[in-house]
Amino acid sequence: METKINSKALKAEALRLGFSACGIAPAGPVDPVHRDFLKEWLGSGRHAEMAYMGNHFDKRCDPALLVEGTRCVVSVALNYYPATRLPEDEYQFAWYAYGMDYHDLMREKLTTLFRFIQESDVPELDGRVFCDTAPVPERYWAWRAGLGWIGKNTQLIIPHAGSAFFLGELFLNTEADTYDRPRPNRCGTCNRCLQACPTQALEAPYGLDARRCLSYLTIENKGEIPASISPLMGNRVYGCDECQKACPWNRFATPCRTPELQPSPEFMNMKKEDWQQLSEEKYRTLFKGSAVKRAKYSGLIRNIKQMKD
């Protein structure tokens, strides 16, 4: 008789490791509604220059094609809601970038969780760890695994916890003894995130156009920031959290206590004049092991030069 994953033990270990939530879904193709929405979104060019989003479409929509033999998907969430924030009158960085690079931290914790299952429950277990590094629709699987629902701002919203969470997955070749059910969408008639977007990148509920999104334009974008957008940047030099700040569900958010995700005093004490004089050497020191490296020194300087003080 096949040994199944002990869901209760797995979730208890996930929480012990510091994850904020954990759920399990049976593996299977992405449902037609989400698959068709993704196909239309890509076809309309709303993914901007992020060509990788269109790669491996079939694998993105079927975990068994991405990792042969996948039978269940474990989804986890890790809180990054900041305990302290940069002063409002200083240049702003997205909350997720306050601490160390989440990719490294999430992979480490997920690998530990994988080994726990393998050693204590299922010796024949095999699979892969993912965190924003492969064609995996993370918010879809978090929804399928019962963590929350995908909000109108396209973020995963966890009830009574908010949306400031990193997501990660385990694709496993063994079934679990119990599975979680998707949660119903509880955004209701609220459109505060759409109204709060400074560039109207949220054209409609769930309809993000990355070509206008400040998170894309200040991080992923390698070219110049469009002249029509730069006046709308405010003091945001790396990312944007306006749709999260406006979401009523984030009133339930609790401060992140994970040591690795805490900002350094040096980062928090930077002033506008410090940023304007930032050298590449100082940049490397300040953001060693940080996700801010995604934009590179040249990208951050480009963003800072857009500021109108």
pLDDT per residue, tens digit, the chain (309 aa), is 678 999 999 999 999 999 999 999 999 999 999 999 999 999 999 999 999 999 999 999 999 999 999 999 999 999 999 999 999 999 999 999 999 999 999 999 999 999 999 998 788 889 999 999 899 999 999 999 999 999 999 999 999 999 999 999 999 999 999 999 999 999 999 999 999 999 999 988 999 999 999 999 999 999 999 999 999 999 999 999 999 999 999 999 999 999 999 999 999 999 999 999 999 999 999 999 999 998 999 999 999 999 865
Residue 5's Cβ-side half-sphere holds a number of Cα atoms within 13 Å equal to: 32
Task: Look at residue 133 in the predicted model and tell me its pLDDT.
Answer: 84
Task: Look at residue 308 in the predicted model and tell me its pLDDT.
Answer: 63
pTM of the model: 0.96
Q: Which residue has the tokens 């890790």?
A: 78
With helix as H, strand as E and coil as C, how does the chain read? Answer: CCCCECHHHHHHHHHHCCCCEEEEEECCCCCHHHHHHHHHHHHCCCCCCCHHHHCCHHHHCCHHHHCCCCCEEEEEEEECCCCCCCCCCCCEECHHHCCCCHHHHHHHHHHHHHHHHHHHCCCCCCEEEECCCCCCCHHHHHHHCCCCEECCCCCEEECCCECCEEEEEEEECCCECCCCCCCCCCCCCCCHHHHHCCCCCEEECCEECHHHCHHHHHHHCCCCCCCCCHHHCCCEEECCCHHHHHCHHHHHCCCCCCHHHCCCHHHHCCCHHHHHCCCHHHHHHHCCCCHHHHHHHHHHHHHHHCCCC
Please give the positions annotated as active site: 132
Task: Look at residue 120 in the predicted model and tell me its pLDDT.
Answer: 81
Task: Look at residue 145 in the predicted model and tell me its pLDDT.
Answer: 98
Task: Look at residue 1 in the predicted model and tell me its pLDDT.
Answer: 60
